[in-house]
Amino acid sequence: MAEKHVVAKVADFADTDRKLVEVKGRPIVIFKLGEEWFGMLNRCPHQGGSLCAGHLISQVDSDRPGDYRLSRRGEILRCPWHGWEFDIRTGEACARPGKFRARPVGVSVLSADDTETVGDLELYDVSTEADLVVVEL
């Protein structure tokens, strides 16, 4: 059963779109894209590169040489080592979907009032931190 873990404050993301946290001893990278939240095990399935240092790029599609169409800006995570690309929503590798996959984890935001049931809240001062980022693992 996945448990919920409070890992950060929403305010931590004021100046950044990502943060590396540890849950159950595992490194997890959290991304904030606009108002959406994504989480990924911080280990590339290829050789283990730290996905936290990757670039968020667009999906590129092409039907013939010279034809490049960009879509889904910022939703493709490119590994900082050898450049494998992963769909941030599913973890699927863009070059060989179905064969390789980064491991996504659920991320959500709770307001402090709703977090009574979450285990490790003592790390945060709930009365002053309104919104908290929660990972399910």
Partner 1 sequence: MNVEARPNLSKVQEARVGIADCDVHPNPTSLEDEVFPFLEQKWRDHIETYGMPQRIGFAGGTQYPKGQPRASRRDSYPPEGGPPASSLSFFREQHLDPHHVDLAVMIPLRIGQALQNMDLAVALCAAINEWQQEFWTRKEPRIKGSIVMAYENASDCVAQIEKHAHKDDFVQISMLSRTPDPLGHRKYWPIYEAAAANGLPVGVHAFGYGGNPPTGGGYPSYYIEDMMAHAQSCQSLIVSMVYEGVFDRIPDMKLIIVEGGIAWLPSLAWRLDKIWEKNRMELSHVKRPPSEIIREHVWLTSQPIEEPDKRQQLVETIDWIGWENVLYASDYPHWDFDDPKRALPVQLTQEQRDGFFRNNAFKAYGLS
Q: Tell me which residues touch partner 1 (CB under 8 A).
A: 46-50, 53-55, 80-83
State which residue, 80 or 104, has the beta carbon closest to partner 1: 80
What is the C-alpha to C-alpha distance for residues 134 and 1, in angstroms, rounded to an integer?
Answer: 15
CA dihedral 44, 84, 71, 101 (to 10 degrees): -50
Are 79 and 86 spatial neighbours (Cβ–Cβ below 8 Å)?
Answer: yes
Structure token digits, residue 58: 């667009």
State which residue, 10 or 101, has the beta carbon closest to partner 1: 101
The reply to whether 91 sits near ligand FES by the rule CB under 6 A is no
Of the residues 12, 27, 81, 104, which one makes contact with ligand FES according to CB under 6 A: 81
Task: Look at residue 84 and give the partner it binds from partner 1, ligand FES, none, a contact being a CB closer than 5 to 8 Å depending on partner kind.
Answer: ligand FES
State which residue, 93 or 107, has the beta carbon closest to ligand FES: 93
Task: Look at residue 91 and give the partner it binds from partner 1, ligand FES, none, a contact being a CB closer than 5 to 8 Å depending on partner kind.
Answer: none
Task: Look at residue 55 and give the partner it binds from ligand FES, partner 1, none, a contact being a CB closer than 5 to 8 Å depending on partner kind.
Answer: partner 1
Q: What is the DSSP letter of 36?
A: E
Are 21 and 123 spatial neighbours (Cβ–Cβ below 8 Å)?
Answer: no
What is the C-alpha to C-alpha distance for residues 116 and 23, in angstroms, rounded to an integer?
Answer: 19
